[in-house]
Amino acid sequence: MEYDDYRYQTDNGSESGQETTTGHKPRILLMGLQRSGKSSIQRVVFNKMPPNDTLYLESTTKIQKEDVTRSFIDFQVWDFPGQINFFETAYDSQEIFGEVGALIFVIDAQDDYREAVNRLHYTVTSAYRVNPNITFEVLIHKVDGLSDDYKIDTQRDIQQRTADALADAQMEHIQLSYYLTSIYDHSIYEAFSKIIQKLIRELPTLENLLNVLCSNSGIDKAYLFDTLTKIYIATDSSPVDMQSYEICSDMIDVIIDIECIYGAQNSASNGTTPSINDVEEDRSATLSSPSLSVGNGGVNGFGGADSLQEQLMSDTSVASEPEAEASSLIKLTNGDVLYLREVNRLLVLICILRQESFEKHGLIDYNFQCFKEAITDVFEFSNTRNKLNSQLADGNELVNNTSE
């Protein structure tokens, strides 16, 4: 099974599999006023840029299109320059907005946001006229500098102004979702997780599978993460609390760092299996059969964290590597256990459970194998359906061309 088989196609804009037939990937647009933080968000979430480095980003002058690769989430992110109006007749708005999955509008909450709200209204109503299937998402961004009360007030005010403007334009049926975000904490990943989940056709099935896994294995909370972006693509139906999400997301970083130091690649070259079962962190982390990294190069000692991220971004050999499975266990001082299992090279499952429940880990492992097989079936099925849809659409195109 190649890793491409696990990638999703969005449902948006087509039951007919439009994205596949045109060869275009589903798009996520980042729009908003100048300096609102669009490029920073793109770099931090998808290119692993440290948040502080965004201080030196230059203003975007034309649309920056980027394919997200080596990720389960197979799409394009378009970063728009804030100063240009893309609904003017000089631009082909059908071409830009026709196939969009989500339009994310970024508002700088540390600035006077009245102009941004006007632009949001204009953008949403104009894009909706071109493509009513777009999901509209509003990031009330840079909230790191704001008090909790002020954050809530700002969100309420922006929501109210936007709702009033849409009502005046008799377009109150347009749905907008709001998120308070910052690149300096997990809120931006949490927001993207929710945004991406709306575009995943298989989400209800994934949630059901996670519910079954949790209830049969004594797991309190389970997240299915895209390893590269740390976006969770599904979770079970128990409520998500920021703390559990943050700790699971941090676990990915811990494992990648450990993998980077003790990783499998160098032992692959000398033919031995790395034995790192006794890696003692202060939280007693154990890691077995590590393969979370997707690089093929050597391990670069303690300076390796960056190089692993680089490998993550640059390696092209991932698809041809044989599948191996990473797992990891971190015991927390409060008696909880974090348990990570690699589903495939792009996805990891991270569970939170009580230490007593983990004593039956044979059962958990067995249930995980069933879960993994079910996930594989779901994506194989989706993949086959996408291919069929694409062949059907190609056939229709051929018929149309011949009849012309």
Chain residues in the site for ligand GTP (CB under 6 A): 32, 34-40, 54-55, 57, 59-60, 81-82, 141-142, 144-145, 182-184
How near is the Cβ of 77 to ligand GTP at its closest, in Å? 12
Nearer of residues 55 and 90 to ligand GTP, judged by Cβ: 55
Least distance in Å: CB of 178 to ligand GTP?
A: 16
Helix (H) or strand (E) holding 208: helix 203-217
Dig out the tokens for 386 from the structure.
């996408």
Shortest approach of ligand GTP to residue 37 CB, angstroms?
3
Q: Which is nearer to ligand GTP, 9 or 249 (CB)?
A: 249
Cβ 52 to ligand GTP shortest distance, Å: 8
- Which of residues 25 and 141 has its CB atom nearest to ligand GTP in the complex? 141
Radius of gyration of the chain measured on its C-alpha atoms: 22
| Identity of the residue, 39 or 328, whose beta carbon is nearer to ligand GTP in the bound complex | 39
- Between 35 and 161, name the residue whose CB sits nearer to ligand GTP: 35
Query: Cβ closer to ligand GTP: 144 or 310?
Result: 144
Give per-residue burial for 167-197: e unless 16+ CB within 10 Å, then b: eeeeeeebebebbbbbbeebbbbbbbbebbb
8 A C-beta contact, residue 390 and residue 21: yes
Please give the full DSSP string across 303-359, using - where no structure is assigned.
GHHHHHHHHHHH---GGGSPP---EEEEE-TTSEEEEEEE-SSSEEEEEEEEHHHHT
Buried-state track 292-304, b at ≥16 Cβ within 10 A, e below 16? bbbbebebbeeeb
Cβ closest to ligand GTP, residue 34 vs residue 94? 34
Order of all β-strands in the sheet with 135-141: 64-67, 76-79, 27-32, 100-108, 135-141, 176-180
Distance of closest approach, residue 179 Cβ to ligand GTP, in angstroms: 12
Q: How far is the CB of 148 from ligand GTP (least distance, A)?
A: 16
CB of 62 to ligand GTP, least distance (A): 10
Cα dist from 67 to 49, 144, 341, 398, whole Å: 16, 28, 27, 28
